Chain A
């Protein structure tokens, strides 16, 4: 069964450093998303991406965050200057069409120290 692949599975970074989280969505999917889950809490929407541009973003997705689809397969989330409160599990998801449901990756656990 096709999967959404996320790397790395765990990233530890110092406060103020830049991190890039990587995702390879399912190949025929057109819609891409980043969500995050702070430990034990709900899954929160960050950003959606379609046709090479951001279609929606949440209040969490401020100027410190950016997304990119640098080639035909990767979808990245960059956090420019990490803060302690950015520590969370970050999930990438993709869908063929939103109504068909999302496929989530296994996540990247980001720890900011």
Chain B
């Protein structure tokens, strides 16, 4: 119930392409869904977050799509760049973010020129 399932485990995308990472959850109490980006040797950094009252949120090249009925959400990175190469984690929490974040297992993205 507390799990967040993330796929794929790794992803290779050509420069300029679209990177898509998917997450699914079971706990219907989850109401806050952030994505974190982690570079080697660094801690995760908040990238973008969404709440279930909207189906999509866009910030620059990063978009979260949210499907409440399917209990799925995804991160789209448009015009992927080599500098986007990192590990991406989806996460979820409930009570408007007041319970601790539960993280997915991460997706290692490599953007190749």
Contact = CB atoms under 8 A, between A and B. Distances in A.
Contacts of B100: 33, 45, 48, 56, 58
Interface residues of B, number: 23
B93 A43 contact: no
Nearest to B104: A42
A99 B98 contact: yes
Contacts of A91: 43-44
Interface size class for chain A? 20 to 34
A15 B98 CA distance: 35
A91 B106 CA distance: 16
Interface string A54-66: 0010100000000
A33 B46 CA distance: 15
A99 B96 contact: yes
A107 interface: yes
A35 B38 CA distance: 14
B106 A42 contact: yes
A98 B106 contact: no
A42 B105 CA distance: 4
A41 B43 contact: no
B41 interface: yes
A93 B93 CA distance: 15
Given A98-B93, A99-B96, A104 B106 contact: no
Interface string A36-78: 0000011111001000000010100000000000000000000
Interface of B: 32, 34, 36, 41-46, 49, 89, 93, 96-106
